[in-house]
Each structure stands twice: as C-alpha cells, then as structure tokens.
Structure 1
Amino acid sequence: MDREKLIDKYNVPVPRYTSYPTVPFWDDAKPELSKWLQVVKKTFDESNNSKGISIYVHLPYCERLCTYCACTKTITQNHGLEEEYIDALLQEWKIYLDTFGQAPVLRELHLGGGTPTFFSPGNLKRLINGLKENSRLHPDYEFSFEGHPNNTTREHLQALYEVGFRRVSYGVQDFDPEVQRVINRKQSFEVVKEVTLAAREIGYHSVNFDLIYGLPKQQLSSVRDTFEKVAELKPDRIAYYSYAHVPWKTKGQRMFTDEDIPDSAAKRALYDLGKEKLEELGFCDVGMDHFSLKTDDLYKAREEKRLHRNFMGYNTSHTELLIGLGASSISDAKYAYVQNNKDIKTYQSFAMKGDLDLVKGYFLNKEDLIVKRAILDITCRRELFFTDELKAFLPTTLKDELQVMAEEEIIRFDEEKMEVTDLGMVFLRNIARIFDNKLRYAQNGGDKMFSKSI
C-alpha cells in the first residue's frame, strides 16, 4: 500500500496520547483531595531526589480571541487581574510544598496559556521566584514558556532569562494575511523576526515555532510562503499541528464556516507540502507533529531514547511527577491524574483558602500503568518489548493487527519486540491506538472525542 493510501486509511479520530487513559475516559466523579495528595506524596518520595519534578503553570488570560484556539482562556484587557491570579498560584503551590515535606527538585517548568506574556515581566518574575523560593534546581533544569509574538517584549525575554528560562515557543501558525485575518491573529513577519532574534541575542538556546495546517482559508501558496519565511529565521524546533475543527467545544470556531476549511484532500496536500519543506530545512521527525534540528536537545533525546511525553507534550527528561498549577491545569502523579476547576474565580477562591477544587481525575490500576508505559515506549522510544506483564493485557486480535501494519511497513515485530519504522512515524498515534484498551472497548469508538490524526 502506498503512502497516500495509508494516510487515507489511518486518517481517523485518535488521541494525542499526552496521557493514558486519555481524558475522556477519566472519572466524572470529583476526586477526593486527601487521596490525591497521598498519591502526590508517594510519587514525590519515589522520584524527587533521583529525577526531580515538573511544574506546568496555566496562565489563562489573552487580550484578543484567536478563533481557531480550543484552549481554556479568558479574553480581557484588564491587567489588574494579574496579581490576584499569581497570589492564587503561589497559594496552590504552598499546598503541594506542605504535602512534599521537603524541598522539591525542579527539573522542568513550563508556562502555558492563554498567553503567558499577557502578564507583565515583573509579575512573571514574582511568580517564578515564588516557585523557586523553597525549591532546589536540578543540575539539568529546563524552563520554557509560550510567547505570543505580538506582546512578548524584550523585557519579557530578559526577565524570564534572569530567572532561568532558556526555551521559548512562539505561536506563528501561518504568515498569510488572509489566514491571519480569519483566525483573528494578525502578526507580521517582522514582529516574529524581532522576537526570535531578541531571544537569541539574550541567550535562549532553543526557539520553537508552532505552525498549523488545515486552517480556514489556508492554501498551498500560504504554506509555501510561511516556510520560506521560517527558513530565514531557522528555529530550533517546529511543531506542525493539524488544525482540529471542534466547533461543538469552542465557540470561536463558529465564526467561520465549513466552506472556509480545507477539505480532506486539500488538508493532506498542505500536510505533505509542510513535511517536504521540513525535510528540506533539515528538521527531523521526533514524533507526533514535533520536528527539530539535529543540534537541538529534542533530537538528541530521541536518539538517546530519553524522550518523555506528558501534558506539556514532548520533553527531554522523564519526571514521574507533574504538578499543574492554575485554573484548568492537569497534574500527573504517575498513579493518578487530576484537573483543577476551569473557572478562574472558583479556582482562586479555593486556592486562597488553602484548598484545591479538583473537578476531574483518574486513579490508575495495574493494567492502566502497564499500558501507559507501553504507549510511552511507542510514542517516545519507537519500540515496545512484549513483556509477560504486558502480554496479560493484550487483546487476542493484536497479532493480526500488527501483522497488517508490518505488511504496510509502518512497523516491524516479532515475539519479543515491536519497532516503528521511519514511515511509521507519521502513524504513531494510530500504532499507539491499538494498545489503548479503553478506546478499543469504548461504545462510540472515540469519533466525537478526538481529532483526526492528519
């Protein structure tokens, strides 16, 4: 089967596997806070001194609505909201510090949103210094943030550099003016160039661009032009995401029609062109929409088989404990997941009282932990060993399914091991899917839960 036919076959709704089980299969019942903190303490005690921990901070405010975006955010021009939100974040962090019982070793810290650079440089420094105050830094710590080119100033970059940040990710999406108009994200090449050069001048060693294919009004010419401009700036990493059209989840996407969105054939052509340009520019496929130059640590981590994947996407170290701070943030404590309330006022009210309002979660059983490890091996290491533990939970039809994929040359396998081929990197999500027991036995097959793989 040729590549185009494989893309047609595997272009189905499938998870991105930032967790297992994936969020739609978590429990709707409110998680017990005491039970969650017990799991946090257990995971912390097992891993803090050896691996350190990760922190994700959700900063939910944006000045303008980007209509394509499905993230949790609040649109406002009121910057007076910044300080009380940071106060709540630091109070939430204190709950975890009290639970740990000793200073955590910070291995990773990521600011996401929303628009982190909505917050002033001074307030961001106050936040980071507050998180670091009773913590120790891992020798190989890595701090990163998402920057909107239109409001990431040199002062933002300098302030965050001074408190330890060395990675920045800019949301570029597409440089075409008509696409930018429709998605309400107008930002010139000159602005993106200015903030990219500023980051490098200050000392950031890794700059990522987020690009999206399948956006409304997007054409081959706009993708080609975007990559020509990207080539001039040569970021260290590129995330080339598929636009997920989920208007039933996000109202902003109802501001354009289905006719504005490239159909399946057109979207695949946009994807193919982007992949061609990425290869021409020397970017290597790390997995699941992520590409990097060979000089970047993301590529080195892939080659050395030390990649990890969690709610922050791919990262270069494997911590067992990810604490999510802020409204809607998700935490991963190896044996359990929880999510904070998405409503900012409710979140702040609980945090300022020294409490957490957990609205969703999942506590993993033995099978979940084994399958979780298997999916991480597939998505991060491109290989999977069929241990006796794993075999106990594999469906009887799996060997036949693997045989089909082997004949399609997207995997190789024998009784002991499965490996993902270079061709199979395009289909990582589909390969992981056949080990996903929750999705396999779901009544609706996940059609309305996930975006298509391409």
Structure 2
Amino acid sequence: MLSLIQKYNVPGPRYTSYPTVPFWEEDAFTEQQWIQNLKETFKISNHTEGISLYIHLPFCESLCTFCGCNKRITKRHEVESPYIKAVIKEWRMYCDLFSRKPNIKEIHLGGGTPTFFSTENLTLLMNGIFETANKADDYIFSFEGHPNNTTKEHLQTLYNLGFRRVSFGVQDYSPTVQQAIHRVQPFQNVAKVTLWAKEIGYTSIGHDLIYGLPFQNLKDVVDTILKTKSLMPDRISFYSYAHVPWLKGNGQRGFKDEDIPQSDAKRQLYEIGKKMLLEIGYLEIGMDHFALPTDEMYQAFENKNLHRNFMGYTASKTEVMIGLGVSSISDSWNSFAQNEKSLEDYYTKIEANKLPVFRGHHLSQEDLIIRKHILNLMCHFETSWKEEALFFPDIYGVLENLEEMEQDGLLIIEDDSIKVTDLGKAFVRNICMAFDLRLRRKAPQTELFSMTI
C-alpha cells in the first residue's frame, strides 16, 4: 500500500464537478445562454425531482488556517442584514426567470460560518426564500455549524424552519493541532452541540474530521476517533487536508510545509482512522465518507441514489442547483455559472439588478458523458459504457491509461465496465483522472489541485 501511495500521490481534482473549474471554457460562456439552459432544465426537473439551493454565508469571526473556502473575517455583525437582503434579492431574480414557483428539494447553508448569523436573520433568509417557492414533499435541509458559536437557539430555530441535518466542523481534538490551524474548540463544545441536536430531533448529525493537518500524529487521530465514538454522530466525513497555499488569501501559510504529514505518514493516519470507524460500526460510502446503516446517506449509497455536486455528497439528485451568495456556483446540468468572488463585486451587481454571475461553462456532449462516468465512480465505485448514451470514442485511450492501475489491483476492467476494488477506493480520484479528458489534453503548468492522497 505504501509504495502505491508514493506512486499515485499526485495533484488531482476532488471532482465535485466535471469539467473542474480550471478547465471551464470561460470565453465561450454567456450569461444569456446560461439563463436559457437553466430555464429549459427547470421546466423539466422542477415538477419531477425539484431543485436544490446552496446558500453561501461567508462571514467568520476568526481565520482557520486549514480553510480554503471563500470567507470574510469580521466581528462586526451589522454585516448580516445587508447580506441577507442581497441573497433574497438574488433569489427573486432567479424566480422571475421561471415559469412557475420552484419546488425546493434541498437547501444547504455553507460558509464561512452559517452560525455567525443570528437566528433572526436566518429566519428572515428562509422566510424570504419561501415567499416565492414551495417545499418539495421529501425536502432535505442542512447546514454547517461551528461548535464554538452554534447555540441551542440556532439549532431549535433552524429545526423549526425545516432543517433536519447538521454537520459540525471538528477537524481534530489535539490542542497542538488546533493551535496550529487556529481552530481551538474543546471536546466539550462539540459534545454540547451534538447532544442538543439529538435532543431537538435532528435525524442526521455529521462530524467533519480532517487527516494530514500540521503536527497531527497517529495518537491524535486515535484520540479524535475515540472521542467521536462517545458521541456517535450519524455520519462522518474524514477528509484529507488540502494544502493549497498558492490560493490567494486562504490563510494556509501559518505553518511550515515540514509541519505537515507527508504521503505515507499521512495515509497511515487515514488508514488507522478508517479501521477504527469501521470497527465502531460505520460503513464506507463514496470517497472519505462514513455513515451508520440507519443514515439516509448510507441508504442512498446502497440504493445507488448517492449524488455528488458542488455541495459534496448528497442523498438525492436534482439537475438544477442554484448557488446564492458570493462565490456560489450554480448548475443547470448542461451549464455551470459562478457568482462574483469578491463581496464588493457581488453587491455591485445585486444593486444594479443584475445576476452576480462572472464566469461559467457550457458542457459539450462529451463533457456530459464524462461527467456521468465520474459521478458513477465517485458515488458507486463503478461505471459502464454498455448503454450507447455512455459510450465515447476516447474510452479506449482511457482504458489504456487504466491498465497499470488494474495491474496494481485498484480496479477490474471488464468488456464494457470497470469496478473499483476495495484497495482502489483510496485512489478513486486517480481513477477519475484517467476519464478526465480535459485534464489529459491540457495538463496544467501551474499548481491547481491538492494531492490525491
């Protein structure tokens, strides 16, 4: 295993989309075509599967140095109200494009820190969304909570607004690691919010853990998993720390490169953590995710309904996902559109009554086929081109690139399909890269992605 890690530990995408953002054809993108594609997909999907909303709430009171998200650091809570009003205005611009009221199946509040916002402003946000929308019968609302500032009032208010899923950012319980990543939060804080959520009635509570953080060692991972076991959240994400210090302003230069566990040592942290999680009773789903058998995410994996988009893994699929707020990305299945990444530019467009989109990509027919194969691999660990609609001429080149991975035991190639082995699950990003025709045709000359292992 260790030699395989050394062999395959290369920079690669996490594949929350295909094509990945660095390979979007921005010059060919037009907002007019994006709107047309969105309207056409909406007509079909709104009454069948509904639509999803991702709402980016970017404010944080302090900077966590492991974070690569778009955020604005401030302790001034007067920024909340103008932002909520701007997001609601953006949403109504989208609603004006549609021929009927949207049926919202999924909402996810991400950040930043959604629980930076007061319960009053979160209520205004949700009420503003549903003044012009309906809830689908089987809706799923989720949010990310910071254990240090999530109050019981936050949890109760959002529960009353329809939220049943919450994920808490834990990362690691080691004081040394927490100090290095500027995210000091005692176990007691995580335990408190987790038990509150259970008491209130949340049906899926998640903990986000990270391996490969600065100064993190095996003892830290074992301690973190044991503490997690005492709380038994319904699902766990156990992510690889993405060290991308070249991204402007992401705060990842607060420690030295040599402080970060490398390749084999880093992967050992994951393997030990994974072994403990499986022994506790969690089951592996998708990439770096684990869930109890009773959780809807595991059931979606078993039923082959698991989906992956810009929100990460979801238990159901919608072809329309609208991203609201600064830097959010929308998806009409055949087009992507990203909002302005600067808060000031975002506000400028909203005030001018313009959608705050600044770039995007229209998917070609080839893109759509490759997107499906990568989704199959990321969500189900297998894919097939038996159906004519999933065949593409370059499949033979892809298979040639996968032959060595097959020899290494990472996958099984059959006549018209491939299946990832248990050993290969750790390398699923590498397997997807063989299908990534845009990456193969135009390899990046600069650092774009974190390491795959």
TM over 0.5: yes
SS of the equivalent of 1:51 reads coil
Aligned residue runs from structure 1 range 406-417, under 5 A: 406-417=406-417
Q: Which residue number corresponds to residue 351 of structure 1?
A: 350
Aligned residue runs from structure 1 range 297-308, under 5 A: 297-308=296-307
Q: Which residue number corresponds to residue 154 of structure 1?
A: 152
**Contact residue 285 and residue 425 of structure 1 kept, 8 A:** no
**2:445 equivalent to 1:437:** no
Q: In the alignment, residue 403 of structure 2 is paired with which amino acid?
A: Q
Aligned equivalents of 1:135, 1:341: Cα separation in 2: 24
TM-superposed CA distance for 1:344, in Å, is 1.0
Aligned equivalents of 1:380, 1:437: Cα separation in 2: 19
Q: In the alignment, residue 149 of structure 2 is paired with which amino acid?
A: N
**Contact residue 405 and residue 411 of structure 2 kept, 8 A:** yes
Aligned residue runs from structure 1 range 90-129, under 5 A: 90-129=88-127
TM-superposed CA distance for 1:192, in Å, is 0.4
Aligned equivalents of 2:268, 2:230: Cα separation in 1: 23
Aligned equivalents of 2:350, 2:241: Cα separation in 1: 34
**Contact residue 382 and residue 417 of structure 2 kept, 8 A:** yes
Aligned residue runs from structure 1 range 82-93, under 5 A: 82-93=80-91
Question: Could you state the TM-score of these two structures normalised by the residue count of structure 2?
Answer: 0.96
**Contact residue 367 and residue 393 of structure 1 kept, 8 A:** no
Aligned equivalents of 1:237, 1:107: Cα separation in 2: 21
Q: Which residue number corresponds to residue 266 of structure 1?
A: 265
Please list the CA deviations of residues 29-70 of structure 1 after superposition, one character each: whole Å capped at 9, or x if unmatched: 494322211111011011110000000000000000101111
Aligned equivalents of 1:321, 1:43: Cα separation in 2: 7
Aligned equivalents of 2:180, 2:410: Cα separation in 1: 37
Aligned equivalents of 1:187, 1:298: Cα separation in 2: 27
Q: Which residue number corresponds to residue 35 of structure 2?
A: 37
Pair 1:391–1:33, CA change in 2 (3 A) = closer
Q: Which residue number corresponds to residue 256 of structure 1?
A: 255
TM-superposed CA distance for 1:132, in Å, is 1.6
SS of the equivalent of 2:48 reads helix
Q: Which residue number corresponds to residue 228 of structure 2?
A: 230
Deviates more, 1:353-362 or 1:208-217: 353-362
Aligned equivalents of 1:439, 1:191: Cα separation in 2: 43
Q: Which runs of 5+ in 1 are unaligned?
A: none
Aligned equivalents of 2:334, 2:110: Cα separation in 1: 24
Q: Which residue number corresponds to residue 187 of structure 2?
A: 189
Please list the CA deviations of residues 324-351 of structure 1 after superposition, one character each: whole Å capped at 9, or x if unmatched: 0000000011010011001112212212
SS of the equivalent of 1:138 reads strand
Q: Which residue number corresponds to residue 200 of structure 2?
A: 202
Q: Give the share of equivalent positions with the same residue, in percent.
A: 51
Aligned equivalents of 2:322, 2:265: Cα separation in 1: 40
Deviates more, 1:209-218 or 1:270-279: 270-279
TM-superposed CA distance for 1:379, in Å, is 1.3
Query: Alignment partner for residue 49 of structure 2, among 48, 51, 54?
Result: 51
Q: Which residue number corresponds to residue 134 of structure 1?
A: 132
**Contact residue 43 and residue 99 of structure 2 kept, 8 A:** no
**Contact residue 30 and residue 359 of structure 1 kept, 8 A:** no
Q: Which runs of 5+ in 2 are unaligned?
A: none
TM-superposed CA distance for 1:447, in Å, is 6.5
Q: CA RMSD of the aligned region, Å?
A: 1.5
**2:13 equivalent to 1:19:** no
Q: Which residue number corresponds to residue 451 of structure 2?
A: 452
**Contact residue 287 and residue 428 of structure 1 kept, 8 A:** no
TM-superposed CA distance for 1:73, in Å, is 0.3
Q: In the alignment, residue 151 of structure 1 is paired with which amino acid?
A: N
**2:286 equivalent to 1:283:** no
**Contact residue 339 and residue 360 of structure 1 kept, 8 A:** yes
Pair 1:29–1:401, CA change in 2 (3 A) = closer
SS of the equivalent of 1:434 reads helix
SS of the equivalent of 1:255 reads coil
Deviates more, 1:265-274 or 1:67-76: 265-274
SS of the equivalent of 1:16 reads coil
Query: Alignment partner for residue 145 of structure 1, among 122, 131, 143?
Result: 143
**Contact residue 70 and residue 250 of structure 1 kept, 8 A:** no
Aligned equivalents of 1:225, 1:250: Cα separation in 2: 33
Aligned equivalents of 2:350, 2:52: Cα separation in 1: 20
Aligned equivalents of 1:451, 1:380: Cα separation in 2: 20
Aligned equivalents of 2:166, 2:130: Cα separation in 1: 19
Please list the CA deviations of residues 208-258 of structure 1 after superposition, one character each: whole Å capped at 9, or x if unmatched: 111111111111111111111111011111111111111111441112111
**Contact residue 246 and residue 447 of structure 2 kept, 8 A:** no
Please list the CA deviations of residues 400-420 of structure 1 after superposition, one character each: whole Å capped at 9, or x if unmatched: 333333333322232122222
Aligned equivalents of 1:416, 1:40: Cα separation in 2: 33
Q: Which residue number corresponds to residue 392 of structure 1?
A: 392
**Contact residue 50 and residue 136 of structure 2 kept, 8 A:** yes
Aligned residue runs from structure 1 range 358-369, under 5 A: 358-369=357-368
